[in-house]
Chains A and B, each alone.
Chain A
């Protein structure tokens, strides 16, 4: 028993099955997390190794090189890059997409174990870090305070962070720039010398005084007492009265030789939010948690918790990644609803029957919901990609149902009962329906095989369209016949039609259209050569327009966020950097009313943790984060604003380099695409010179902006050069001397002061005024074991020199990159110009210059896309050739494909858009639709021929009868895309290019298909099924008289 027969005979079972699907789908829909993009494990693993006290160069030779060589042997590694900075080596391995990262991590661990012994002794064991999209903070808050500022750290920790951490799905809550309490003991070296004291001695005394010690049990009478000595300080003021020594019988108090300051840690990071002091707090989610839900919960809880805070503490949201997601998702959901309405309207206009429209429209939710079940089972989320895929699918899922329903209607109108009509009509078309579905699957299934970052987007699209279309076919041969047998009935021929009834308004119009098309076809068939030549000219002309349409990587989105990172001369003190920051702050507040929230952080926080991996920091660096007003509420786009800010920052003489970026949380997707010149070479001077040359030339290029050189300027360092012989004379060695210098300058953490369960460092060092020049440093007193005081200048000297702050490697070679983003031109055009530039600049032989960056990714993705198209074409050909059992028919149909691209090019040219990945995707999609239209036409023409019509008659008749189905398919898809192409809300930039390409391509290619396919058929399709039979029959001629 066939599916459709069972479905019709058991309507309740059928109905229940589909109800079950819908119920499960709705459950999946409710349970699924909402996110911007599908969660992915980017194939990057980093190895971090610290070697305290080593310079960038030491790190490079002693750690990075050894590890790089070893790690390069791990399976599936695509590229190894590294950065060696002072104290730290970070090596990043890029794997092929889809590699098993767990296995890679294990292998890396083995490799590291093997080489660990070859590294210097003090090197900490390397740590392996795996990246994940969920590691990016999802919400940022700016916290400002006045009187409560000194205690802000503790207040937030207790009242906000701890409760927030309890929320389900919150990974961690951290702060940057929080003021930290610390107790400084600042000594006067002259007094120390006078009393024969050293920092180390004082430190030792403090440590031995600040002590609680249990001292055993004492039994007295019936009781057993514990004996304890409570020596710990209860107040930081007690420190000042500590006796630290004895001079001629007089006790020396700490206050005599030093100043005790219970205060905040010295400034290294300065946070200003809208000009007020404060800090930043950020929330990270757990992997797999629902960003939107977590952000909502956090915000809700925070609003409650805020009430418990002192009134001067203000918490403002700087960034909520979920708001963009919510905006984008609701925007797309709306698009989906509009698409649904449009599709239903198109069906209604063409069929003119409510009941039929209802039956067909029913297949839409059923097949779309199956996609949700798929997403749920595969642990995916509702995201921009999946929703876009659904809106693409929405126009396609009705096609099969339309074919089935049309045939059923025809049978009913011939007098069959709806039940029988449903059975026999479905029987007639079910195979054809499945084959057209196969064509669509042939186009979309290869998408699931694409790798790389583009693959991440395309895989989901491929699966969703494949699954929904297959589901729709299933519904079309079960649900549609079942519903038709129940709902459809014979329409009575109305003798008197109402004035505005369907039969008097739309139907005559459609009939006229049919007639017009039939006439056009007759004319076209008589002028085949003319038509072919003129169409070829159009196609060639469109190839030329390719020159004017630039190519890009990913579309950029206006996320209402801007960030600036500026760098002053390396080594600038944070206090100086702050002055520039204040200046910038004032200008921004004055000139850009769109900036709703302004967060400026200057300097670096040594406890930034994970976050400092993403944002560079240093005493000379200013990081600015800005939130703009909503897209609809401002006239200037985020790019306009960025351009203006660029001009302003350029005018600051003290700023060495700066970078203004408009990307937020998109993790490099939907962000700015750049072109990077990669300069490989060992010698710093040569590569620096070349990098500078490129930087200069790029700055003179009006098409390039945001020029960034990856290698920072050399930074000034002071080096203490010790004389070993002299040290030996005094019984000293490098280790003791360097520890002593460190204690005097950086400070020695003598002990920790406890208060209310928290511990604060007690740091003892020389007062700043005694250690802020080379002369003063040379005067530092070092005491040897005999108690002899030796000045630093006696055993060594202090020299000033310049060292690179960081060394980057790519493929184990030193590299400098100079990157730029296009200004008013497309990425490909900029890349072309830059490639030309690299030819102009002379480079020595040992230096290699290469053009990469997003441009490289783009090239790779385009290659992938081309391969994909090729594969789709081959698969489509296979399906068609077997369907028609012919090699010519697929060719006839495939002749229409080039014109789909002509349409795409024209649409891009007219709207001034660029060809990017998303638009390319639209083009792939077009193949499916165009081919489908072609199949409908050719199949019917074949049918007419086989039924004995003459070639041209068959073509015209087929065209006339298939015009409506083709127009319906095209119109449902086009109108489904209209909301995508014209939406302006958040995130719309991502899919607008797809809307434009599909609409443009489809309008054009549908018209051309309707002409070129009949013409090609007229040329190539001379031998139909009839001729084959004739040939067969010739064998039996002998039987004739």
Chain B
């Protein structure tokens, strides 16, 4: 099992939902308003007057075989427009209840 953490501009919400559905990922936890800033050049998302946009984030624990198609799709979404921004991070799950 792998944990996949996706942080994305709110404007990508519908696309992300679509991806999850398509890949049959049922379980996830979702933070709809998350602040953030890109490590290299990504604009801050702070929901303030200066930086009005906001990110959302979700974490899902998926089978290993779903990680690759998921990342591929995330990349596709990111390529539509890099300014908008979406990132996915994956790490292993050691134990589960």
Chain A positions within 8 Å of B, measured between CB atoms, are: 411, 414-417, 419-421, 424, 427-429, 431-432, 942-943, 946-947, 1025
Contacts and interface: CB of A to CB of B under 8 A. Distances in A.
B11 A421 contact: yes
6 pairs of A and B residues whose beta carbons are closest in the complex: A428-B52, A415-B80, A415-B81, A946-B50, A416-B11, A414-B81
Nearest to A428: B52
B13 interface: yes
B49 A424 contact: no
18 contacts: A411-B11, A414-B83, A415-B81, A415-B84, A416-B11, A416-B12, A417-B14, A417-B15, A420-B14, A424-B11, A424-B53, A427-B52, A428-B52, A428-B53, A943-B49, A946-B50, A947-B50, A947-B51
Given A414-B84, A415-B80, A415-B81, 14 more contacts: A411-B11, A416-B11, A416-B84, A417-B14, A420-B11, A420-B12, A420-B14, A424-B11, A424-B53, A427-B52, A428-B52, A428-B53, A942-B50, A946-B50
A420 B13 contact: yes
Interface in B29-52: 49-52
A179 B72 CA distance: 103
A946 B43 CA distance: 13
Contacts of A421: 11
B82 to A, nearest CB: 10
Interface string B45-63: 0000111111000000000
Contacts of B81: 414-415
Nearest to A944: B50
Contact of A429 (B10, B13, B50, B52): B52
A33 B80 CA distance: 57
A492 to B, nearest CB: 14
B10 A420 contact: yes
Interface string B3-27: 0000000111111000000000000
A795 to B, nearest CB: 100
Given A943-B50, A946-B50, A947-B50, A424 B84 contact: no
Nearest to B43: A947
Contacts of B83: 414
A947 B11 CA distance: 21
Contacts of A429: 52
A943 B53 CA distance: 13
B14 A419 contact: yes
B42 to A, nearest CB: 13
A301 B67 CA distance: 87
Contacts of A432: 49
Of listed B12, B50, B80, residue having the most chain A CB within 10 A: B50
Given A420-B10, A420-B11, A1025 B50 contact: yes
A424 B50 contact: no
A417 B80 CA distance: 11
B73 to A, nearest CB: 15
A417 B54 CA distance: 16
A579 B79 CA distance: 98
A415 B77 CA distance: 9
A432 B12 CA distance: 24
B93 to A, nearest CB: 31
Interface string B74-93: 00000011011000000000
Contacts of B52: 427-429
Nearest to B48: A946
A416 B8 CA distance: 12
A414 B11 contact: yes
Nearest to A1026: B50
Nearest to B80: A415
Contacts of A411: 11
A432 B50 CA distance: 11
A947 B45 CA distance: 12
A416 B81 CA distance: 9
A429 B49 CA distance: 9
A9 to B, nearest CB: 13
Nearest to B50: A946
Nearest to A412: B11
A424 B11 CA distance: 7
A422 B43 CA distance: 20
Contacts of A414: 11, 81, 83-84
Contacts of B84: 414-416
Nearest to A416: B11
A862 B84 CA distance: 55
A710 B83 CA distance: 80
Contacts of B15: 417
A907 B55 CA distance: 51
Nearest to A945: B50
Of listed A414, A431, A1025, residue having the most chain B CB within 10 A: A414
Nearest to B77: A415
A484 to B, nearest CB: 14
A1025 B48 CA distance: 12
Of listed A415, A421, A429, A1025, residue having the most chain B CB within 10 A: A415
B10 A424 contact: yes
A946 B44 CA distance: 12
Nearest to A423: B10
A521 B83 CA distance: 29
Contacts of B51: 947
A1025 B15 CA distance: 35
A256 to B, nearest CB: 108
Nearest to A411: B11
Nearest to A883: B49
Contacts of B53: 424, 428
Contacts of B49: 431-432, 943, 946
Nearest to A407: B52
Nearest to B84: A414
A416 to B, nearest CB: 4
Contacts of B14: 417, 419-420
A943 B52 CA distance: 10
Nearest to A432: B49
A78 B49 CA distance: 52
Contacts of A942: 50
B44 to A, nearest CB: 9
Nearest to A943: B50
A942 B81 CA distance: 27
A687 B51 CA distance: 76
A476 B68 CA distance: 43
A1030 to B, nearest CB: 15
A781 to B, nearest CB: 103
Contacts of B80: 415
A419 B80 CA distance: 17
B12 to A, nearest CB: 8
Nearest to B15: A417
Contacts of A946: 49-50
B21 to A, nearest CB: 15
Contacts of A943: 49-50
A414 B15 CA distance: 14
Contacts of A424: 10-11, 53-54
A786 B81 CA distance: 125
A943 B51 CA distance: 8
A424 to B, nearest CB: 5
A1028 to B, nearest CB: 12
Contacts of A416: 11-12, 84
A875 to B, nearest CB: 22
Contacts of A431: 49
A713 B40 CA distance: 96
